[in-house]
A and B are shown apart, each in its own frame.
Chain A
């Protein structure tokens, strides 16, 4: 379990910008998986509990996946940047 604390330190090192966030997220996902499986006793729990957990994560994945797909394909569909509103000098 103390391993989890060590992985926090490992994310410290600033790598390149894009790969850095991928690595940080990957480590966060590994930590989260360990917490869910062992601390929250999902590993030994009934099938129905696992369904609840997986369903919750599935809905979150749908929320984030489709929202991001929406925003990031707007330039593709309409030819303009998706976020063109910049604050104006008044």
Chain B
């Protein structure tokens, strides 16, 4: 067991290195929290002033079933990541790789469902800057759509910005996990050195947390 092989020279021991890298990831996650937090604060402010338009946009045009499925998919992917970290800690390489691949698969599932939602909104002419037209032509009862179209467009600006930002983070996460999976396949991790897996897991849990808050704010406004 060559502990020194993984130990970078600036650290005294592996425990300190592990602590430092975990803290580094948490510092990054704190910046990400402010990034999404700023955007969400903006959304909350406008939602409180244009409540009627935002509620109507959410109620009429957001698919709650798809959103719920996506939330469940992402929560499961967090579970697979946590199990992967557990297997890494116990040196079970094959199960770790299975869990990592499961996470990647669930992430891609989420992104595919999101893409179909985006396509639907494109077809319904709800994309600001592209083809936004309100009330949309497909709606059965356009006289029920009493909100100010500009405010509905604002809702969709937020929707696309927030979910696209989140999807971008997910794509980066898929990339990170692909690299980690290849490294795991090559046997880079052991019970002594599995911190890259844990730290990637932290990032992924954060992405899941963002969605846990995005889902009720975007989909469940009535």
Contacts and interface: CB of A to CB of B under 8 A. Distances in A.
A45 interface: yes
B116 to A, nearest CB: 19
Given A35-B209, A39-B78, A68-B41, A28 B26 contact: no
| Interface majority SS (helix, strand, loop, mixed), chain A | helix
B68 A8 contact: yes
Interface residues of B, number: 47
A52 B209 contact: no
B216 A53 contact: no
Given A17-B55, A20-B220, A68 B33 contact: no
B154 to A, nearest CB: 10
Interface in B30-84: 30, 33-34, 37-38, 40-41, 44-45, 48-51, 55, 64, 68, 71-72, 75-76, 78-79, 81-82
B55 A82 contact: no
Given A8-B68, A36-B205, A57-B33, A24 B148 contact: no
A79 interface: no
A39 B82 contact: yes
- Using C-beta atoms within 8 Å of the partner chain, give the interface range for chain A: 35 or more
Interface of A: 1, 4-5, 8-9, 11-12, 14, 17, 20-21, 24-25, 27-28, 31-32, 35-36, 38-41, 45-46, 48-49, 52-53, 55-57, 59-60, 63-64, 67-68, 71-72, 82-83, 86-87
29 contacts: A1-B75, A11-B216, A17-B55, A20-B222, A21-B220, A28-B215, A31-B212, A32-B212, A35-B208, A39-B79, A40-B201, A40-B202, A41-B85, A48-B19, A49-B19, A49-B22, A52-B26, A52-B30, A59-B34, A60-B33, A63-B37, A63-B38, A68-B44, A68-B45, A68-B48, A71-B48, A71-B49, A82-B49, A83-B49
Interface of B: 19, 22-23, 26-27, 29-30, 33-34, 37-38, 40-41, 44-45, 48-51, 55, 64, 68, 71-72, 75-76, 78-79, 81-82, 85, 148, 150, 198, 201-202, 205-206, 208-209, 212-213, 215-216, 220-222
